[in-house]
């Protein structure tokens, strides 16, 4: 039977390239001259550590980070911006986790969206991927087409298509 997987993977090298591009751009900007700015990617924990001397500059760094990541082919949803920045001495710090893989609660939302669509497919959660199988490949293509309109808050890729 035809099948495919929904995944949410982040290529570490592409992410590293995007963060390096952000770091170079910020150090060359006139409004950041002489400001203490730290943009650091923790590759083991998939976190980006940001430091700036004001919350406004921190928000500018985040905007540049999202736009450069999108130019590198990464979705803006990979960054979890829910944590609030905190003051540490004279600088404002923010830890931005990078979402890699589908969490169980997000997987359940996606399964519910697929089941509510009324298509004749079977859905299975397998660790951090979701496998969708159906009798006809057209049903799978309908699921892929429907997934474009979902707003689940994570970057979804369709992988491992088998017919």
Domain CATH code at residue 17: 3.30.70.990
Structure-derived torsion over alpha carbons of residues 15, 16, 20, 25, reported in degrees to the nearest 10: 0
73 and 115 assigned to the same domain: no
Query: What's the confidence (pLDDT) of residue 150?
Result: 83
39 and 79 assigned to the same domain: yes
Query: What's the confidence (pLDDT) of residue 138?
Result: 87
109 and 47 assigned to the same domain: no
Dist. CA 18–CA 26, nearest whole Å: 12
Its pTM surpasses 0.85: no
Q: Is the pLDDT of residue 157 over 90?
A: no
**What does the pLDDT look like over 134-155, one tens digit per residue?**
898 888 888 888 888 888 888 8
User: Which SS3 state, helix, strand or coil, does residue 52 take?
Assistant: strand
Domain CATH code at residue 116: 3.30.70.860
Q: DSSP letter for 84, please.
A: P
**What does the pLDDT look like over 90-133, one tens digit per residue?**
899 999 999 888 888 888 988 898 888 888 888 999 888 899 99
Query: What's the confidence (pLDDT) of residue 69?
Result: 92
**What does the pLDDT look like over 9-47, one tens digit per residue?**
888 999 999 999 999 999 898 988 888 899 999 999 999
Tell me if 110 sits within 8 A of 130, measured CB to CB.
yes
Task: Write out the residue range of the structural domain in which residue 57 sits.
Answer: 12-97
Dist. CA 7–CA 3, nearest whole Å: 13
Query: What's the confidence (pLDDT) of residue 144?
Result: 87
**Domain end (from 78, 97, 116):** 97
Tell me if 121 sits within 8 A of 140, measured CB to CB.
yes
């Amino acid at each position: 039977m035809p099948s495919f997987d929904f995944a949410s993977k982040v290529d570490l090298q592409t992410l590293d390239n995007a963060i390096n591009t952000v770091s170079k751009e910020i150090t060359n900007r006139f409004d950041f001259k002489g400001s203490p700015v730290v943009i650091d990617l923790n590759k083991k924990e998939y976190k980006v550590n940001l430091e700036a001397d004001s919350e406004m500059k921190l928000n500018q760094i985040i905007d540049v980070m999202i736009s450069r990541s999108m130019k590198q082919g990464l979705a803006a949803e990979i960054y979890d911006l829910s944590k609030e920045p905190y003051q540490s001495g004279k600088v404002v710090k923010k830890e931005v986790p990078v979402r890699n893989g589908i969490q169980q609660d997000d997987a359940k939302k996606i399964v519910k969206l697929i089941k509510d669509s009324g298509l004749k497919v079977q859905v299975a959660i397998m660790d951090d991927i979701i496998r969708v199988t159906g009798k006809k490949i057209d049903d799978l293509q309908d699921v892929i087409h429907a997934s474009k309109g979902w707003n689940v808050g994570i970057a979804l890729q369709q992988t491992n298509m088998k017919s």
